[in-house]
Amino acid sequence: MNSIMDKLYNAVEEKGVVCVGLDTAFEYIPQHISEGRSVEDAIVKFNKDIIDATIDVAACFKVQIAYYEALGMKGMMAYKKTLEYLREKEAIIIADIKRGDIAATAKMYAKAHFEGDFEADFITLSPYMGMDSVEPYLPYITTGKKGIFSLVRTSNKGAEDIEYLDTASGDKVYHVVGDRLMDMGKEYVADCGYHPLGGVIGCTHVEEGKALRKRFSNMFFLIPGYGAQGGKAEDVAMYLNNGNGGVVNSSRGILLAYKKDGREKEYALCAREEAIRMRDEIRKAVADLK
């Protein structure tokens, strides 16, 4: 069986590491698109254009649910239609929902985002309620069709507040989280060598890149922080294994690429150019590491 991890691994081999972040704030949409359309239609039109323009150069798409939830029902309709379109195009979908709750509730989140209107291939989780808050997702993971990305070491400054705390063993809290995921994931390692309990590892603290890659050798990384948050291709290259083993998200950097040269009418083409530039820059950084 071609599991979701094998699909993601193969997509990276074929298309590179770029994960296009559909964090579509309504104000990002150029006026000629939003004018005369409902909020829902404008978001869907913008997202479809970005998807069409980047699908052959993106390993996957990450849809950040907050941007849609913030708009109420019309936002959630746009979210549903965006996921439907991605599925129609056979794109790999990461739903960035960052859930974390007791097992009974987590079971409902799993159903909500691995089935039905909001079905995605991967979802993001916050593991801070412990591994019993992650276990309810396993029935979906055992099918080989679904996976998760749990926060491990995030890209924000506040990562230092809790994730960086020292534990009695000398490890940081984020090491312990990663170890637990590695332990839980070992039963599910796919043919490509990675298991579907991936980790979110921001690329804004470069000094740890190599160490994390070594310690969590068969954990697939979702790497945010490139571009708008200051992460560089040289940093990202260290979080990868020969250019695979992770996908690198860029949201604002891709969606707002048109603003740099005031090319509003060409927003989709600008997104494509930026995704290609990013892909090639990271490929070069990986090659330079060797």
Q: 140 with 114: CB under 8 angstroms?
A: yes
126 binds ligand OMP (CB under 6 A): no
Interface stretch with ligand OMP, choices 163-171, 238-246, 247-255, 269-277 (CB under 6 A): 247-255
CB contact set of 210 (below 8 Å; sequence gap of 6+): 238
Distance from C-alpha of 267 to C-alpha of 64, rounded to nearest angstrom: 20
The C-alpha torsion from 261 through 48 and 246 to 92, rounded to 10°, is -170
Q: Which of 81, 87, 145, 252 binds ligand OMP (CB under 6 A)?
A: 252
CB of 199 to ligand OMP, least distance (A): 10
Q: Which of 16, 147, 198, 202 binds ligand OMP (CB under 6 A)?
A: 202
Binding mask 23-62 for ligand OMP (x = CB under 6 A): x---------------------------------------
Distance from C-alpha of 125 to C-alpha of 122, rounded to nearest angstrom: 10
Q: Supply φ then ψ for residue 22, to 5 degrees.
A: -90, 65
Q: Which of 54, 64, 82, 150 binds ligand OMP (CB under 6 A)?
A: 64
Distance from C-alpha of 99 to C-alpha of 227, rounded to nearest angstrom: 25
200 binds ligand OMP (CB under 6 A): yes
Strand ranges (E), the chain = 18-22, 60-64, 93-99, 122-125, 147-153, 195-201, 219-223, 246-250
Distance from C-alpha of 245 to C-alpha of 59, rounded to nearest angstrom: 12
Interface stretch with ligand OMP, choices 3-11, 51-59, 168-176, 246-254 (CB under 6 A): 246-254
| Nearer to ligand OMP among residue 190 and residue 257 (C-beta) | 257
Interface stretch with ligand OMP, choices 148-156, 167-175, 189-197, 211-219 (CB under 6 A): 148-156
Measuring CA to CA, which residue among 262, 125, 263 is closest to residue 196? 125
Distance from C-alpha of 94 to C-alpha of 108, rounded to nearest angstrom: 18
Q: Which of 3, 24, 244, 250 binds ligand OMP (CB under 6 A)?
A: 250
Interface stretch with ligand OMP, choices 41-49, 104-112, 210-218, 223-231 (CB under 6 A): 223-231
Q: How many residues bind ligand OMP (CB under 6 A)?
A: 21
| Nearer to ligand OMP among residue 40 and residue 163 (C-beta) | 163
Which positions are annotated as active-site residues? 98
150 binds ligand OMP (CB under 6 A): no
CB contact set of 46 (below 8 Å; sequence gap of 6+): 24, 28, 29, 30, 33, 267
- Binding residues for ligand OMP, rule: CB under 6 A, are 21, 23, 64, 96, 124, 154-156, 200, 202, 222, 224-225, 227-229, 249-253
